[in-house]
Amino acid sequence: MIVTKTTGFSRFYHATRYSIKGIKAAYRNEPAFRYESWAALAMLPSAFWVAQSGMQLALLISTLLLVLIMELINTAIEAVVDRAGTEFNTLAGLAKDLGSAAVLFSLFITALIWGGILYDNFLAS
């Protein structure tokens, strides 16, 4: 059976709808995604105050988005692993742990970039 996919604006429209559906599902079902969403929302205005250039602003906001992206990927990994079965499997546990580690590293990157920019703009003279 040959499947024809939509193209052009129709494809963009449907892809956007699926993306919004995924974001809503993550927010509804994943406490970590909710916490990180609220943290990003709270930090967003600070980014405009802290940044002294467009590049700094882009970096600060990008780190907030990076954490959310990594949490979405982690959630997707967990959903697939959970769908595959409920019995213990070493590889399934490894997949979940690696996804969680990716989120942790994104938080480290966020702290590093925010800390560096805060240091440059307010402490270094």
Residue of 30, 36, 71, 78 with catalytic role: 71
Inter-axis angle of helices 90-118 and 54-84, nearest 10 = 170
Contact 23, 91 (CB under 8 A): no
> Contact at 8 Å (CB) between 63 and 115?
no
Give the chain's length: 125
Asked if 71 is an active-site residue, the reply is yes
Task: For helices 54-84 and 31-50, give the axis angle rounded to 10 degrees.
Answer: 170
Residues designated catalytic = 71
